[in-house]
Amino acid sequence: MDYSRFRLPHLDAVPWRDYLLSILSGALLALSFPSPGISPLAWVAFVPLLLACARKSPGEAFRLGFISGLAAYAGILYWITIVVTAYGKLPWIVSIGVLSMLVSYLALYPAAVVYVVRRGEDRGISLLVSFPLLWVGLEYARAFLITGFPWASLGYSQYRTLPLIQIADVAGVYGLSFIIALANVVFFRIVRGFASREPAPYPVKSALFLLVLLIATVAYGFNRLHVPENGAPFKVALIQGNIDQNIKWDPEFQEETVAIYERLSRKACAAAPADLLVWPESAAPFYFQDEARYAARIKGLARELNTCTVFGSPAYEKSGESLKYLNSAFLLSPWGDVLGRSDKIHLVPFGEYVPMASFLPFVHKIVVGIGDFTPGAQVAALDTGKGKIGILVCFEGIFPELSRAYVRAGSRLLVNITNDAWFGRSSAPYQHLSMTVFRAVENRVPLVRAANTGITSIIDSKGHIRGMTPLFRESVLNGEVRLGEGETFYNRYGDIFAWGCLGGALIVAALAFTRRKS
């Protein structure tokens, strides 16, 4: 019997070796992010994919890029199943479906990159130009499309390599993404040159160009690392309450929750006086505006410890007959007065609200909470009396434009309050932390982070992680930072480099689809 008619022609056109190379690229990329965070792998992660795509048609390259993206983002974002199953209380099959949809969407980006790259190569556009521009351009677009999801941008894999990441104060995380993407092309051309056993002048020239670029980047980095921090000293005390997510919103545990934060706060301030005491997101699991008894206790604690206090609590606003719910942070003075409130601006889709809810009535939020939240109306820098602070609630810390806006509004310290309990004991809390390191470097201001179950940390304006707590343990973290100056090229001009890459990517795409090789 002839079985050939049952074969899939589009699969037979590509050797299985190339599919394996694509999967290998995805695996290397996933391993470069925390955890395990083997950052050098990012510099060669795309080499197997580029080898697989060489001399393939654009359509075949698209399939290989899609498979590589599936492998990469499944490895990076596997923890989505924990969120959906453990805290959304949905079956495993649903969690796998949610993960599959998200990963498939993200895999379209590397697929599109290699598709356009191959079309461009057929029309004489150098891979050295097309791949870095397309990768960074689409990486930047991903940060805004469909509410935006800039998780695991390529540059974040290097968050512990301090001399490299200092260029973030000029080009943001996308500057480092560009260099890594360029390095992958150079290494690919070197490997292909050796494999072909033919004279290859271009890999030598491109390797020298990459070497010069890296030397300049590292030299700039070491120079910035040796610039002293001249800001005023500012002492912080960060509290990690480790409140179980399954009981966090149960009214019966409100007393126990407040008592835990009172005890840990007294312990932290007894160890060292603080200019600012920070509790995590939703540390007060009730409406601070209405709950007079617990509100009085929190205000009394601020007076007792004689320190400004930041804590997360839901809030609401009435406008005529309508009622808006907000995920907020309050700042109290050392005298217990409310100095201000900062509302979360960038909400978590399907966690804090349902996008296009009127068109998706059958979709419910994954996370059980007070109700659908409304995004905050404006960026508010809150004044502690010793310096202004900008409060980033939860995953707002992964959006560079928000941190930049707070610093431009006068903040000289960024405060990230979050509840990463949703992630369980996965790599997600480490990935979340890694991205906030760049917010400090981009704006040259320190960032302190209080997380319900961890990781609570202190990050200085150069990206040093000065302290961090373990996961799922009651902890306090005391430290001193220097208030930042907030004057950087990036803070002034924003993602101008990324915009340039996006513009370059559009030009490459236009040439790839219209220009013909003579």
Active site residues: 281, 344, 394
**Could you tell me if 301 and 309 are in contact, meaning their C-beta atoms sit under 8 angstroms apart?**
yes
Burial of 335 (0-12, 13-18, 19+ CB in 10 A): exposed
> How would you classify the pairing of strands 308-319 and 322-332?
antiparallel
**Total residues belonging to the chain:** 518
470 in helix, strand or coil? coil
**Could you tell me if 394 and 419 are in contact, meaning their C-beta atoms sit under 8 angstroms apart?**
yes
> CA-CA distance, 439 to 490, in Å (whole number)?
11
> CA-CA distance, 285 to 386, in Å (whole number)?
28
**CB within 8 Å of 317: residues ≥ 6 apart:** 323, 324, 326
> CA-CA distance, 258 to 269, in Å (whole number)?
16
Instruction: Using alpha carbons, select from 201, 177, 54 the residue that is nearest to residue 127.
Output: 54
What are the tokens at 401? 């434009």
Sequential DSSP letters for 401-445? HHHHHHHHTT-SEEEEEE-GGGG-SSSHHHHHHHHHHHHHHHHT-
**CB within 8 Å of 504: residues ≥ 6 apart:** 129, 133, 137
**CB within 8 Å of 508: residues ≥ 6 apart:** 116, 120, 125, 129, 130, 133, 134
Residue type, 24: L
N-to-C CA span, the chain: 48
**CB within 8 Å of 189: residues ≥ 6 apart:** 127, 128, 200, 202, 203, 206
Phi, then psi, of 237 in degrees rounded to 5: -130, 120
> How would you classify the pairing of strands 233-240 and 276-278?
parallel
> CA-CA distance, 54 to 325, in Å (whole number)?
53
> CA-CA distance, 194 to 65, in Å (whole number)?
24
DSSP at 480: E
> How would you classify the pairing of strands 276-278 and 413-418?
unpaired
Q: What angle do CA 284, 285, 290 make, to 5 degrees?
A: 80
